[in-house]
A and B are shown apart, each in its own frame.
Chain A
Amino acid sequence: MKNSMKFEFPARSENEKLARTVCAAFVLGLDPTIDEVDEIKTAVSEAVTNCIIHGYDGGGGMIEIEAETDGRDVTYIIRDSGCGIEDVKKAMEPLYTGKPDSERSGMGFSIMEAFMDELRVESSPGRGTVIAMRKRISEDDG
């Protein structure tokens, strides 16, 4: 089954729930397990929170999410036009946080990696960040 969607919203914390709920609803046609839905919601929430806190530094801007399904694969592309990441490798290290004073756990990218099958991060300082995450939804054995 092929399907696609695209939506954008202001980078405000109240939209984190909107983003993860829409992304989870998008995949329901593939009959995912509850765990798979939870994993997608958590990974999307991490990506969107990063855009708000780090990309725009709480200052606002727009976040765009594109998603598509191809067979049993679902891909989410989450894009901001914020400040970008200078050192992507460092940002992806477990427990690293660019905001040590804000009670951030530094687990965002580790969670995205653990809960999705593939994670790609493209970023350049001053030009924003694009996160692409793919997950294979298990075959419906019912």
Chain B
Amino acid sequence: METMLIAKQRMLVMRLRGEIDHHTAGGIRKQLERELKMSGAVNIALDFKEVTFMDSSGIGVIIGRYKTVRALGGSMVIYNASEQIRRLLDMSGIRRIAVICSTLSEGLNIINSGKAIR
């Protein structure tokens, strides 16, 4: 999992890879929490470009990290998700708690405009 910190926005960007299911969710959760803590970021952006599959275990990971950043006063951005993953996000109501968009800059604009969901 590649990570990048955008210091100005205190945003941690994480590029997720491969398949997110119950088997892989635990490791992803631990890494996201560790990186959030170490970086001092309050916002998180998840890049789904290289995620080839996700089931409801991934939804659990997203909701859990939303709770973490919300407690820090931050917001969550999800971008580059495939059709299959977008459908799951819509079904699970993730749109109500996170910014779902196509590119990182789109997400950053929404965060900067103060319209992000908290």
Binding site for B on A (CB under 8 A): 13-14, 16-17, 20, 35, 38-39, 41-42, 45-46, 49, 52-53, 102-108, 110-111, 114
Nearest A residue to B22 via CB reads A49
Assess whether B55 is in contact with A46, with CB atoms less than 8 Å apart: yes
**Which residues of the other chain, A, contact B60 by a CB distance below 8 angstroms?**
102-105
Q: Which residues of chain B (1-53) have a CB below 8 Å from chain A? A: 19, 21-23, 25, 29, 53
Secondary structure of the A side of the interface?
helix
Residues of A within 8 A of B25 (CB): 103
A-B contact pairs, 20 of them (CB 8 A): A13-B21, A13-B22, A14-B23, A16-B23, A17-B21, A17-B23, A42-B84, A45-B21, A45-B53, A46-B55, A46-B56, A49-B21, A49-B57, A103-B60, A103-B63, A105-B59, A105-B63, A107-B56, A107-B91, A110-B91
Please tell me if the beta carbons of A108 and B63 are within 8 angstroms of each other in the complex: no
CB atoms of B23 and A105 under 8 A apart: no
Beyond A35-B83, A38-B84, A107-B59, whether A53 also contacts B91 by CB under 8 A is no
Per DSSP, chain B at the interface is: helix
Which residues on A sit within 8 Å (CB–CB) of B22?
13, 16, 49, 52-53
Residue numbers in B under 8 Å from A20 (CB-CB): 53
In the assembly, what is the distance between CA of A38 and CA of B64, in Å?
24
Q: Does B92 contact A (CB under 8 A)?
A: yes
Sort A-B residue pairs by CB-CB distance and give the 6 closest, nearest first: A13-B23, A105-B59, A103-B60, A107-B56, A38-B84, A45-B55
Q: Is the CB of B63 within 8 A of A111?
A: no
CB of B19 within 8 A of CB of A17, answer yes
